[in-house]
Amino acid sequence: MGSKFWPKRGSPGILHHFTESLVAFEFTPNTKSQPHSILFLGGLGDGLATTSYVADVVAGLQSTEWSLFSLTLTSSYQSWGFGHLDRDTDEIAQCIRYIKDYKTAQFGSPGKLVLMGHSTGSQCVLHYLSRPNPHTSTPRFDRGLEHAERPAIDGGIMQAPVSDREAIQLIMRDGFLGRTPSEMRETYDQLVALAREAVGDKDQECDSMLPIPLTAQFGYPRNTPVSCRRFLSLVSPDSPGAPAEDDTFSSDLGDEQLAKTFGMIGQRGLLRHKLMVLMSGADQAVPEWVNKEGLLARWRRATDGDRTTQIWDQERSGLIPGASHALSNDDQAEPRAFLVRRMLSYLADLEKRE
């Protein structure tokens, strides 16, 4: 996934264990003091430093006081099909606590910390900032889950927030991998029926896997098992009336639903300053029927409401012109430079704030 953009000589840094089995890599391309931190979260299938534009961000940070961390979660790489956002954000909270302790030991204070997400990483950012703290869920499929109290963060960035449900709708409308729309609809209906039956079985206390030959028809990797529960969360068949956990960015969600996600950021009090949201202007995963600028405006209204102090970064949020989903195509040099410029402006403004 775009690894050609990484320096062929490798990237210097420090590997941190923030739990016994989970690690974060801190990029340290120079010897400049960097007391502030960005914790970067990739999308479905991503892992340690697999989002290619991170290389551009790291290069842009060299003259600043910010270092970037990339981490692994239990749901990284091929494990996303059995993951869920509560576990993700619990583990992110553990990593944030580690980074704050580490920076305090190095510099005498924790510095400022920004949580940045790409794609599904944006869902993690929104989930982190909007859900009860700590989480209140007691999932029967994840009995060992212990919820962590999530520390407040100084800033939040979401890049390429997209709807998995609308991406699936696009595939079913146009066909995919040589299959006609009617064939895709038939497979979708079969998967939803199988998933509903398994999730509805009250005697089943763990996740069950959908048939890979069926999930692969929608582009899910053939080496990635997807649970019935996570599939229903991603495709959210009861939306827009009753959206599932992962359905936070669909364009047809009503204002009452947005009030439960974007609208809760101010009430939770976990974001000290502003939220910057950058959509990719030519995102392949966003159907052409979605009005991106109109959707951003709705998210902004839900976030700020009638607040006197704005949470939404109106100055810097918006579309990245010509950007593909992960800014990883051969023609993406300017979109990546645009992203870095917006980030550096955001970080410079954040450093001025108390």
CATH number at residue 120: 3.40.50.1820
Question: Is residue 227 a part of any domain in this protein?
Answer: yes
Question: Is residue 79 a part of any domain in this protein?
Answer: yes
Residue type, 278: L
Report how far residue 35's alpha carbon sits from residue 112's, in angstroms, rounded to the nearest whole number. 8
Range of the domain at 16: 3-162+251-352
Residues 20 and 103 in one domain: yes
Report how far residue 354's alpha carbon sits from residue 281's, in angstroms, rounded to the nearest whole number. 33
Q: What is the token pair recorded at 41?
A: 């979260």
Question: Is residue 51 a part of any domain in this protein?
Answer: yes
Whether 77 and 28 have beta carbons less than 8 Å apart is answered as no
Considering the entire predicted model, what is its pTM? 0.96
Residues 193 and 137 in one domain: no
Strand-pair category, 23-27 with 13-17: antiparallel
Report how far residue 272's alpha carbon sits from residue 260's, in angstroms, rounded to the nearest whole number. 19
- Give me the half-sphere count of Cα atoms (radius 13 Å) on the Cβ side of residue 222: 2
Identify the pLDDT of residue 41. Answer: 98
Residues 43 and 77 in one domain: yes
Identify the pLDDT of residue 5. Answer: 52
Residues 264 and 231 in one domain: no
Estimate the crossing angle of helix 120-130 against helix 85-107, to 10 degrees. Answer: 80
Residues 178 and 212 in one domain: yes
Question: Is residue 245 a part of any domain in this protein?
Answer: no
Overall domain count for the chain: 2
H or E element at residue 69: strand 66-71
Report how far residue 229's alpha carbon sits from residue 192's, in angstroms, rounded to the nearest whole number. 10
Residues 199 and 79 in one domain: no
Residue 339 CB contacts under 8 Å (≥ 6 apart), including other chains: 53, 56, 57, 159, 278, 320, 323, 327
Residues 177 and 157 in one domain: no
Ranges of residues in the chain whose predicted pLDDT is under 50:
1-4
Give the number of residues written for the chain.
Answer: 354
Q: What is the token pair recorded at 261?
A: 């996600």
Report how far residue 133's alpha carbon sits from residue 27's, in angstroms, rounded to the nearest whole number. 30
Identify the pLDDT of residue 24. Answer: 98
Residues 120 and 264 in one domain: yes
3-state secondary structure of 231: helix
Residues 259 and 218 in one domain: no
Question: Is residue 172 a part of any domain in this protein?
Answer: yes
Question: Is residue 241 a part of any domain in this protein?
Answer: no
CB atoms within 10 A of CB 24: 24
Residues 322 and 260 in one domain: yes
Q: Which of 186, 209, 235 is the last residue of a domain?
A: 235
3-state secondary structure of 27: strand
Identify the pLDDT of residue 32. Answer: 78
Question: Is residue 57 a part of any domain in this protein?
Answer: yes
Residue 316 CB contacts under 8 Å (≥ 6 apart), including other chains: 276, 278, 342, 345, 346
Q: What is the token pair recorded at 149?
A: 């109290």
